[in-house]
Structure 1
């Protein structure tokens, strides 16, 4: 038994280590196929990145959002990293059954730790296995977050962990027996029942059992290593290694998710200069090797847990997009194509092969066939990603928010969209109207710029316009960026007028840009038209810098609450998309401003006592979190604080809210595209709201307001929603409460009848 155990264990060890070394080399060469990233973009502030990595792993800050799953996974992950000493002990036990590790062997704290982590690893993996079994796609269909995951690989990994954990536990019991543990000892607090069970066996039998169990532990460990080394696209196994660099190299060193700003389009690791493009510049991604090395690392790190899929509004409404399946498809395609690319293969802009026949002669036929597949194409075209998958994305950020290993789904989707729009001109036709209107008129509806100020005629106070009523913004506290919807869309204009009136009541000096405002470029950028975003953005930045005038070189003093400098360039916006673009993306174009959302300013004015809600607004209200206000910019509290300040309102959250809020369906330029597949996203969201039987559905975004109102009106027409149900912006609610109802005019006293003349 001992000889067999030694031969089997050492043979598997040698093979496993050799294959693992080869696999690591393959990964290094594979990641080098990706494009470089801008200098310092992934390596700035290494200390903070290391702190982020330690915090995310040891704290399981992203995993623990799912309660018991995160708790169980923590022990499995920590056990995997800290139980290798038990593997070393097993090697020693092959040669001497009662062998213990030098120095730490028999050290009570170490023994206690091994007992505790060993048992918790067994319990943790058992919990995860039960959860997977309860969520079988065969039972739950699309509702299962594991739908589409490679179940066989997952079960293999889980049973390996369970087997190793049980082997450690059995070995602990055998060790106690062979070391003649006569009574209960703290060092064997978990395995003591096994110590008692093995106590009556002979020394020879104990030795044989130790040889056998040590072999099982070692063999299982290295069979796992062999299998995963031969399958480098086995994300459910490799994530435990690749997750660490993927987190360390994430976009933001401080640990913030890759939301908010989109990254500039790059080629060769440098931003594309659209005014003077290079001959070899690549626009977007049309081949998998055109993703950055970080993109390729993202794909390989996916653990197929399906958290992104479970939260995706497209997947939840019957559309073909699953962020998980998209990443898995890109991963499998990239790994299958890698031998061709590593041999020097590749296509130029005209589609001609770069490599010679001699270079490609040893490339497997499967890799050559994979290289012929279009990255974006229908099933008939054998495409890797179907166009319907690409255009279903609302860029809501739910996938990025939920991913435990920090995969940056939205950046990859937009990169593929960029190529489709800019090179292939292949995008939903109705979005073309929006692009043409932006190019010609600077707004998605194609309306004349003078119509941007029509709403100012509908309020009974003066709204100053920069360049007309005031010279520059040095005379006011805030520039109110009204936005296209806020100025031109009838429902959104109600929010605009309400917010402007609230500022007037609070005595806040503000001004607007009027007809000089243009679309910030949010929709064209997320559609993939980067040049149009650059054009609109640069024009707006130049206009803003001129409007701020001397204040560009001033500061706004010190904020007493934070002790930080205040900017003199203050912009407030009622549109989260404008807010996000100006705050997070205009710095890429040289526009640095302090930008806040109108709910943040209104909450501040309430706190200061400059706005006092007094009139009750009765009813049950539920709030819809706009994706670009919530997930993308982490503004959750101000809208809720405003509603709490309004007397009479009773708040109730929808099931999906805050970080797990459900999209209205308008983001990612979907506002301008028809939904032809599955259930409409706004209908799904309104159905969730109606399940609470509210009197008011509130939000804080003009796009959300339009989408929710459209669906509610449809429900009213079908008799599925009560006629009294309102969809309003929180600013409208606040105004209704701040404005004291006018006192009714006193009735004139009744005239006394004239006395009748005496008879």
Structure 2
């Protein structure tokens, strides 16, 4: 039985390995893991063994923690079981015990305890699945779209393994072949109701091992393959958490050089399933179908077709469907059946494709899916790769985004406004702001990266002026690029136009280096993320801070002192690219906490579970035609706190939330005095009175 099981499992594992390695190489994953072995060991201890992400969802997390540890601890039981079979066959006395520790009562207790805890965990899983069944909750169920039958089979098999474990241990106690004199409290209780029988012991032992072997075969052919692949996926995932910088565009395992790239031979994004990297296939194999990503996705929560879970599962199912062809030799392919060939011709993205275009373009890149995934699947990487192919090869993307791309290429900003307008906000200040001519002045500490919105959008300009005034009051020497500043390229990159991103980024890096810039402060989280995390990919290394980080420091050091009370109830909205992508949660809240009179009230979804405003992923420049508007959903949540003011720390969020609040005012659902402001505006208001 064991030999047959090993053969079947090995054949399946070989198939999965060969299928994954059909895809694109990803040498950077292995190189990073080798170079950062300390961080990888910590990740294994915290995420795999410590179950950190799963325990964020306490009831199901605790249940999974015990079931997972049961797999590890009960390996000792299988050592005992196989040892008893071998020893029984040789000596006729199956009283085997593990050398040195095999008769330690604490081990017997631990084995029974973890088995009982796993049994209770199965009950919890069953209750959770019944309570959240799609048949009851529809798309509000995080299990909507999951393969539910397979999950119940797994629960049933684990249940069988546990009760058969107690059966054979109890039988061994009665025959005197059990290695522990005490400690195994559950097995001892079961033994009291069983007859003493060597035959029962042998049957129970064979039954338990047989069930385990059947379970092993089921696991490698089901979503529970994650038992083995999750540690690997965590090992090769991007650090710190698969967010921050978007992945560089690669072909053949190397970063794509656009000056030498050939569309005929190089891979531009992902147009076919076989263009997925082996890490992408590992994502497919590891998805547990738990639906945590789906439950947090702003697109899914506003009735759009994007489910991060189904994005992975649809690709996985397609990969398995076309696997017979992908693994064929050239000679075999020539004689392949039409059904397989028809599957191969099915586009990865398209109206009749594996992924519908509306799924692809619904994503805001907010990172909620990556943040919540307990096995480190990187959904955004999959989406960006497919977007890159659609934009650069197929030229298939929402038409309004095309206007944005043309404006970026011709004018250096998404709105297509003249570059000289970038400095007009300075005229509204009562002090001088240094504009960099060629070199940063010697006594200037920071370059203030104003950003396109901060310079050109009326509401965002209020934040820009507030930050400039605060830096001036605090005595921080700063300068701006003015007309020399161009868009960082974030909208282009997040849309999938990597070529344009490279062009803008290299232009800006050259400008910054020639000016001698070392330290940058940015008000836009998208600019902040791009400058700090993505420009190093192209050789641009700068010390970058978000304005809330710098202002919080200035308040803490006494260089800024809020005095005038602001008697308002304020709820703060976490920008995705500041919060989840860069883990800046405390500083904006610290600023508000230092302003006298302010009462803060958190929304239900905040910090790492914050809800997107709807502008990320270049969606700021795309119409939202499907389902409820994401910004409206977020404002509805903000209104439940009955705020006087909604604060944020991002110009995109300022615009999106402001638009939704104005709609609410027009329908009488929000008070006329309600407004959206940046935390910098609150601070300057308190300081200036």
> TM tier, shorter chain?
over 0.9
**Aligned residue number for residue 343 of structure 1:** 328
After superposition, the Cα gap between the structure-2 partners of 1:246 and 1:135, relative to the gap in structure 1 and judged at 3 Å, is same
Partner of 1:333: 318
Pick from 497, 500, 510 the counterpart of residue 529 of structure 1. Answer: 497
User: 2: CA distance between counterparts of 1:474 and 1:223?
Assistant: 73
Encode CA deviations 1:395-433: one digit per residue, 9 max, x unaligned: 000011111111111011000000000011000011011
Q: Mark the CA change 1:212 to 1:97 in structure 2 (over 3 Å): closer, same or farther.
A: farther
Residue 28 of structure 1, CA deviation: 1.7
- Asked whether 1:502 is paired with 2:502, we answer no
Pairwise mapping of residues 274-353 of structure 1 onto structure 2 (< 5 A)? 274-278=258-262, 280-344=265-329
By how many angstroms is 1:654 displaced?
A: 0.4
Query: CA distance change for structure 1 residues 482 and 43 in 2, over 3 Å: closer, same or farther?
Result: same
Match among 208, 223, 246 for residue 199 of structure 2: 208
Query: 1:83 maps to what in 2?
Result: 74
Matches within 5 A, 1:371-450: 371-378=344-351, 381=352, 383-450=353-420
3-state SS of paired residue (1:595): strand
1:318 match: secondary structure:
coil
In 1: Cα distance, 2:653 partner to 2:338 partner: 50
Q: Distance in 1 between matches of 2:97 and 2:266?
A: 58
Query: Match of 1:367?
Result: 340
User: d(CA) in 1 for partners of 2:541 and 2:69?
Assistant: 43
* 2:113 maps to 1:140: no
1:664 aligns with 2:623: no
Judging changes above 3 Å, is the alpha-carbon distance between structure 1 residues 166 and 365 closer, same or farther for their aligned structure 2 residues?
farther
The answer as to whether partners of 2:96 and 2:177 remain within 8 angstroms in 1 is no
Sort the Cα spacing of 1:220 and 1:367 in 2 relative to 1 into closer, same or farther, 3 A.
farther
Shift of 1:102: 4.4
CA displacement at 1:36 relative to structure 2 = 1.1
SS in 2 for 1:191: helix
Structure 1 position 290, deviation (Å): 0.6
Query: Contact (CA 8 Å) 1:43, 1:249: kept in 2 or not?
Result: no
User: TM-score when scaled to structure 2?
Assistant: 0.95
Partners in 2 of 1:404 and 1:661 — Cα distance?
Answer: 17
The 5-angstrom pairing of residues 119-268 of structure 1 reads 119-179=116-176, 186-198=182-194, 201=195, 203=196, 206-229=197-220, 231=221, 234-235=222-223, 237-252=224-239, 256-268=240-252
Q: Is the 8 A contact 1:697 1:726 kept in 2?
A: yes
**Aligned partners of 2:576, 2:333: CA distance in 1, in Å?**
49
* Structure of larger gyration radius: 1
- Asked if residue 638 in structure 1 is aligned to residue 625 in structure 2, the reply is no
| Residue in structure 2 matched with residue 484 of structure 1 by the alignment | 452
Q: 1:56 to 1:473 in 2, by over 3 A?
A: farther
Alpha-carbon separation, structure 2, partners of 1:360 and 1:399: 41
Comparing 288-297 with 528-537, greater Cα deviation is found at 288-297
Deviation of 1:584 after TM superposition, in Å, equals 0.3
| SS of equivalent residue, structure 1 residue 129 | helix
Distance, in Å, in 1 between the alignment partners of 2:390 and 2:98 is 62
**Change in CA separation of 1:305 and 1:97 when aligned onto 2, cut-off 3 Å:** farther
Q: Distance in 2 between matches of 1:453 and 1:437?
A: 18
Q: Which whole-Å deviations, capped at 9, do the CAs of 1:527-573 have from their partners, x for residues lacking one?
A: 00001000000000000001116xxxxxxxxxxxxxxxxxxx11000
Provide the residue aligned with 1:603 in structure 2: 552
Contact in 2 for aligned 1:266/1:272 (Cα 8 Å):
yes
Gaps of 5+ in 2: none
Task: Determine if contact 2:529/2:577 at 8 Å carries over to the other structure.
Answer: yes
Aligned residue among 595, 599, 604 for 1:655: 604
1:714 aligns with 2:663: yes
Contact 1:64 1:71 in 2 (8 A): yes
Measured in 1, the distance between the counterparts of 2:360 and 2:302 equals 15
SS in 1 for 2:447: strand
User: TM (normalized to structure 1)?
Assistant: 0.87
**Correspondence for 2:254:** 270
Q: Give 3-state SS (helix, strand or coil) of 1:719's partner.
A: coil
Tell me the residue number matched to 1:744. Answer: none
Residues 677-686 or 137-146, more deviating: 137-146
Tell me how far 1:249 sits from its aligned partner.
Answer: 1.1
Q: Deviations over 1:670-725 (max 9, x none)?
A: 00001111100000000000011111100000000000000000000000001011
Aligned to 2:443: 475
Structure 1 CA distance, aligned partners of 2:309 and 2:627?
19
Structure 1 portions without partners, runs of 5+: 1-9, 345-354, 550-568, 741-759
Q: Distance in 2 between matches of 1:364 and 1:124?
A: 46
Residues of 1 paired with 2:415 and 2:592: CA distance?
32
For the pair 1:518 / 2:490, whether they are aligned, the reply is no
Q: Distance in 2 between matches of 1:247 and 1:535?
A: 33
Q: 2:325, 2:333 within 8 Å by CA — same for their partners in 1?
A: no
- How far residue 365 of structure 1 moved from its aligned partner, in angstroms, is 5.7
The answer to whether the 8 A contact 1:339-1:364 is kept is: no
- 1:33 corresponds to 2:22: yes
Q: Kindly state the Cα deviation for residue 158 of structure 1 after the two structures are TM-superposed.
A: 1.2
Q: Counterpart in 2 of 1:5?
A: none
CA distance in structure 2 between the partners assigned to 1:129 and 1:43 by the alignment: 40
Shift of 1:645: 0.5
Retained in 1: the 8 A contact 2:48–2:230? no
8 Å CA contact 1:619–1:695 kept in 2: the answer is yes
- The structural deviation recorded for 1:479 is 0.5
Instruction: Report how far residue 68 of structure 1 moved.
Output: 2.2
Provide the C-alpha distance between the structure 2 equivalents of 1:624 and 1:661, rounded to a whole number of angstroms.
7
Q: Secondary structure at the match of 2:569?
A: strand
